[in-house]
Amino acid sequence: MLIARLFLLLAILAEVVGTSAMSLIGQSGAWWGYIVMYVLISVSYYFLSLAAKKIAIGVAYATWEGLGITLITLVSIFLFDANLNTQELFGLALAIVGIVCVTLGESHPPLSPHDEPTDPASTRG
């Protein structure tokens, strides 16, 4: 499950950088920016698909989208001088709360007896 979360984190980071590149492309108009954007968004979907093998797709997608929106908004504020009004900040806060609720509500299959840690003291006769 840890590797799946790492894949999800990589998917989120690739999405944030790729989407942020769109703003830079709009400012510069350089053709290479489009290549960077498309490659990073493709990488994002690739890692999302790997994460979805172990994380429920609804949870993976909600986390990917929600954290991506939050991080892209922060990038917009700090790098591109975007201003958010109260309603937009409230909506972003609701998205974060929703991500936390979905992630905490994710169910995990029970461990098999071979996966449980054993206590050496309990195996002595």
Closest CA to 22 of 79, 87, 103: 79
d(CA 122, CA 118): 8
Model confidence over 28-74: pLDDT tens digits? 777 787 888 899 999 999 999 999 999 999 889 988 988 898 899 99
Closest CA to 63 of 15, 16, 100, 94: 100
And the tokens for 10? 């990589």
Indicate the burial class of 105 (C-beta count within 10 angstroms; 0-12, 13-18, 19 or more).
exposed
In terms of residues, how long is the chain? 125
Model confidence over 97-123: pLDDT tens digits? 888 888 787 765 665 655 545 545 545
Name the more confident of 16 and 29: 16
Average pLDDT on 88-103 reads 86
DSSP code at position 49: H
Closest CA to 12 of 57, 58, 78, 63: 63
Cα–Cα–Cα angle for 63, 91, 78, nearest 5°? Answer: 80
pLDDT at 125: 45
d(CA 52, CA 68): 16
